[in-house]
Amino acid sequence: MSGFFDRPRLLLAPMAGVSDEVFRLLACEHGADLAYTEMVSAKGLSYANERTRRLLNLGEGESRVAVQLFGHEPATMAAQAAWVEETLGESLAYLDINMGCPARKIVTKGDGCALMTDPSLAARVVSAVAGAASRPVAVKFRRGYAVGDETCVDFARRMEDAGAFALTVHGRFAGQMYRGRSERGAIARVKRAVSVPVVGNGDVTCGADAASLMAETGCDAVMIARGAQGNPWVFAQARAVLEGRPEPPAPTVAERIAMAERHARLMAERCPEALVRMRRHAMWYVAGVPGATAARGRFNYCLRLTDFLDAFEALREAADAHGCLDDRPARRG
């Protein structure tokens, strides 16, 4: 991994139910340097759960991926990290340990952000995984667990000491979930406190956001999560600004609909068993588009590719009738 963070990097975040092989493909086509898998349960892998193992499937032409594991048992995490490394081989860029997910169903089991409440256990997990895998191990965590109690700096130092080669910091507390603003100062404080690369995460929805996040925090890379939902163009925008070029304009209504259609076709071709996921993607693509409310109601009943294509065509016809196919509506954050 030497040299991976030598220049600004753009990473697609690990998002449950979102970062599948099709979403990763579109992100990388538009400028993401590396995409993460959805977060993968180490416990699920230990049971040889086929649904969990499918999360590790790479797309056609996908040569490198980062895998994020979640769990709190050092031995289980270590064993499954070694299995992932053996299974993916050279396609595995590095492993990441999720210590930032605030979802109740994750935290109540002691996983995700719950590990921030037990730094000693978190450090043992990192040490165990780093000892079992030859690939580098990164850690993703938040500003802190309880709102108002910032613990990320001390936590970051402990993860570095335990063997983490890089750290990703999201600037919200677990208790905030995704409400409020991400505190960039927390990311900057972590960056100043450790010697390993730091990835900044939170509230990046355009190229200017990525550039200002790096400028304000000194982070070595930017991870984009919700800002990429229905918006793979955000990576091209971020890359342009970081390279000193003008930020490309937002996509037109026609471009959004065309991308949504392509996304649906790829889902039907590569992940047919998960095509129902396209409902949420479709809603993200059309956010802010005239006629989106009616379209969203229709998406809720889509089951087959033809259902989605018919819904997109109806939206295109409505936009054309209103003369707004070439408009560039603002995205809703």
Binding site as annotated, residues for FMN: 14-16, 68, 140, 170, 225-226
∠ Cα 11 40 112 (to 5°): 85
Residues contacting residue 227 through CB under 8 Å, at least 6 positions apart:
203, 204, 205, 206, 209, 234, 333
Residues contacting residue 245 through CB under 8 Å, at least 6 positions apart:
none
CB 282 within 8 A of CB 311: yes
CB 87 within 8 A of CB 81: no
User: 101, 113, 219, 271: which is the annotated catalytic residue?
Assistant: 101
- What percent of the chain is helix, strand and coil (3-state, nearest 5)? 50, 15, 35
- SS3 of 2, please? coil
CA 196 centroid distance within chain: 21
Order across the sheet with 166-173: list the strands.
34-35, 9-12, 221-224, 198-201, 166-173, 137-144, 92-99, 65-70, 40-41
Judge whether 302 counts as a catalytic residue: no
- Within the chain, how many helices (H) and strands (E) appear? 14, 9
Q: Can you say which residues are annotated as belonging to the binding site?
A: 14-16, 68, 140, 170, 225-226
Q: Could you give the count of Cα atoms lying within 13 Å of 181 in the half-sphere of its Cβ?
A: 6
Catalytic residues: 101
